[in-house]
Structure 1
Amino acid sequence: MIYSYDTSAFDWSVHRNTPIVVDLERVGRHQLLKSLPVGVDAENPPNMASSSLGRRLVACLLNVSEARRKDLVETVAQAALYNAEGARREGTTVLNIFNDHDYNRSVITIVASIDSIREVVLAACEKACGLIDMSAHVGVHPCMGAVDLIPIYPLGEEVPVEECAEEARAVAQGLTERVPGTAAFLFGWADSPLQRGLAQRRKEMGWFKRTTDLQAIQADLGPEPRTRYGLTGVGASPYVMNCNVTIDTRDIALGRSIAAAIRESTPGGLPGVQVLALPHEGAVEIACNVESVKGSPPTHVTAGEPWPCFSIEGQPYCHAPASLVTARVSELAGRQGVGTKGTALVGFTPHECRGLAELALSQEIPEFWKEQHRIRM
């Protein structure tokens, strides 16, 4: 078995009808918020360890530079699910669409078999490139492309990260061929042989500085990018969870100091955490990419909720739980007399993603996001 999950950390708690804000101090860990169709037994979800349905599944958390026109974003999601004739692509579901108005950025959680993910993602990217014009984009979040990010993560036992990397490279090549004027850079396992991380590649491309001189960019694939499409990052890695904690202040300097303190590269920081501080809805958001790290959970930061663990080709991986990220941000902000307003998961944990994908596919629900609420803690 190449890829196996410890399913003990998976939380199938169900809350119907309305989103719920969970008090971390009272509950102690986050709960999955969802509204499921009538007839779905959420108390007996598919067995993640043994279900043949999930063995070849992968996830793509497609980041597009549009959120204020939600109908447009849904059109992009539907392009992943239905072909040009309107026929449904079997074995594909969109679990969630996370829209952020201030950032003007959406994350579309697409799940399909590794054998079909290439065409599914390319169809969505083509649609996005036809609808989003980067020359007119306005938003707080850094971005460089109409399709800004295409990460592919393995979910199933029979999918090694290397196979995701092959598909990621094929997606990057296919995008630059199908949409002339698009360009891409590779990261993670797709960036062979260096396997440079996303943060490093973004720095090299000028992503954090919002570089507008496209002629200065040395893309890995494609010609000099056109202003309309910009530059797209494409890669593969073990699952990366997105966890954003909002602190109740407009002080961006404080936000940046907190971000620096919890960043993996800082002594005493959280392993696997890459982070930005951004102004957001009249406050400051500590926006974290929580990468899966190789090995057992580090002993110096494991107090509280256990770190979810899984293995890839016999090698153990784990990731910091969202509750730990929230607790650390709350502690640092509290020292300055600042509280937190909440934590948002952009999509799901890896355990939740696979479990919900199996549920959606077994129930033949391609547009599963319509059954979902935004997840908050």
Structure 2
Amino acid sequence: MSSSRVGLRLAACLLNISEARRKYIVENIAKAALLDKNGKKHPQVSVLNIFSDQDYNRSVITIAASVDKLGSSVLAACLEAFQAIDMEVQEGIHPCLGAVDLVPIYPLSGVTVEECGVVARSLAEDLVRHVPGCSVFLFGEADLPEKRSLVQRRKQLGWFTRRDVSALQPDLGAAPARRCGLTGVGASPYVMNCNITIDSQDMSAGREIASAIRGSNANGLKGVQAMAFPHEGKIEIACNVESFDDQEAAEISEDFQHVSYSVLGDQFSYVSPHYIEAQVKKLASDWGIGTKGRALVGFTPQECKNCAEYAIKENIGEFWKIRGGVFM
């Protein structure tokens, strides 16, 4: 099904919130995305997926909409989240700085990354206007003129070590309040989340494997960021898998397994989740460790686009209930 048949220009937000243990709160946040300020249902918005992990105490809510509706929809979800989540008492093993930790906007069909950047920037300004104590850092196409990546911004802000947020300097808003924390808002080509579990409790092995596949390393996987976390008595290799300009694919060796797709004529590629899993399995075997499976947090870019087109065409706002949310 093409986007032209649906007649929509679509974008998505993979909203990362610092709550997973209270399922009703996560679902209330998801449902808030579907209603306008008058309490009426948005006809061009769908919550495609909810992925919640109790060990991480983190949920990813996939919201898809026509690009002109996405900002107000995500804003409504964020307002609900800020009311319900208090970072002063939040606990979880996954790094985070904010109650609403990350708000990335991705193009799905008929929309450029630059347009998503405009949506993200406007959303960030609305957040600090409507939420007392909300502070925002910007990344990607929303971070003008530098366009610093999410990884760059997280390193600058100490996201990986979860330090005291009150000392941080936001791009928008006042100094971060302890209840709200600091929220990242930005836009980029689609970033997929893929986690592989190794059958071990050895964090040294986990960190070595994560480092080996990281795209910043000479022999790593392009566009892949990876961290190791203790998870349900095992170690999880959690990966962010970036889409990159397909013109760069010529630089990749022939055995580098990647998947290509296009948005509005722009060609992108990303490393296949199957290939990431195979590489983790190989590296783990060098330590005498097996793997216990792979979890895709939401969708591949193509799956997200296809589900969004179908859900919006059929006016299915709570698509996640049909697909089945993932609550771990």
Q: 1:93 aligns with which of 46, 50, 64?
A: 46
Deviation at 1:102, TM superposition (A): 0.1
SS, match of residue 194 in structure 1: coil
Letter in 1 for 2:232: E
Matching residue of 1:44: none
Matching residue of 2:234: 283
User: What do the CA deviations read for 1:181-209 (whole angstroms, capped 9, x no partner)?
Assistant: 11000011111111111111001111111
* Higher helix fraction (1 or 2): 2
Matching residue of 1:173: 125
Q: Can you give the 5+ residue segments of structure 1 that lack an aligned partner in the other structure? A: 1-46
The CA distance in 1 between the partners of 2:132 and 2:121, in whole Å, is 17
Matching residue of 1:295: 246
User: What do the CA deviations read for 1:18-38 (whole angstroms, capped 9, x no partner)?
Assistant: xxxxxxxxxxxxxxxxxxxxx
* Higher strand fraction (1 or 2): 2
The CA distance in 2 between the partners of 1:190 and 1:48, in whole Å, is 28
- Does the 8 Å contact 1:345/1:375 carry over to 2? no
Letter in 2 for 1:202: R
Letter in 1 for 2:282: E
Change in 2 beyond 3 A, CA 1:302/1:150: farther
What are the residue-to-residue correspondences of 1:320-339 with 2, within 5 Å? 320-339=271-290
Q: 1:140 aligns with which of 82, 93, 106?
A: 93
User: What do the CA deviations read for 1:209-230 (whole angstroms, capped 9, x no partner)?
Assistant: 101141x211100001110000
The CA distance in 1 between the partners of 2:232 and 2:250, in whole Å, is 34
Deviation at 1:48, TM superposition (A): 2.7
Deviation at 1:135, TM superposition (A): 0.4
Q: Can you give the 5+ residue segments of structure 2 that lack an aligned partner in the other structure? A: none
Q: 1:230 aligns with which of 181, 197, 203?
A: 181
What are the residue-to-residue correspondences of 1:44-55 with 2, within 5 Å? 47-48=1-2, 50-53=4-7, 55=8
Deviation at 1:51, TM superposition (A): 2.5
Identity of aligned residues (%): 52
Structure 1 length-normalised TM: 0.83
- Does the 8 Å contact 2:12/2:65 carry over to 1? yes
Deviation at 1:364, TM superposition (A): 1.6
User: What do the CA deviations read for 1:236-280 (whole angstroms, capped 9, x no partner)?
Assistant: 001011101111101111111011100011011000001111111
Matching residue of 1:28: none
Letter in 2 for 1:274: Q
In the alignment, structure 1 residue 346 sits paired with structure 2 residue 297: yes
Change in 2 beyond 3 A, CA 1:177/1:365: same
Deviation at 1:374, TM superposition (A): 5.4
**Count of paired positions:** 326
Q: 2:210 aligns with which of 259, 267, 272?
A: 259
In the alignment, structure 1 residue 274 sits paired with structure 2 residue 228: no
Matching residue of 2:102: 149
Matching residue of 1:108: 61
More divergent stretch after superposition (308-317 vs 73-82): 308-317
- Does the 8 Å contact 1:344/1:375 carry over to 2? no
Letter in 1 for 2:152: Q
Structure 2 length-normalised TM: 0.95
The CA distance in 2 between the partners of 1:182 and 1:375, in whole Å, is 29
Deviation at 1:105, TM superposition (A): 0.2
User: What do the CA deviations read for 1:280-330 (whole angstroms, capped 9, x no partner)?
Assistant: 1111111100000112435655538x5221335644210111001101100
- Does the 8 Å contact 1:59/1:153 carry over to 2? yes
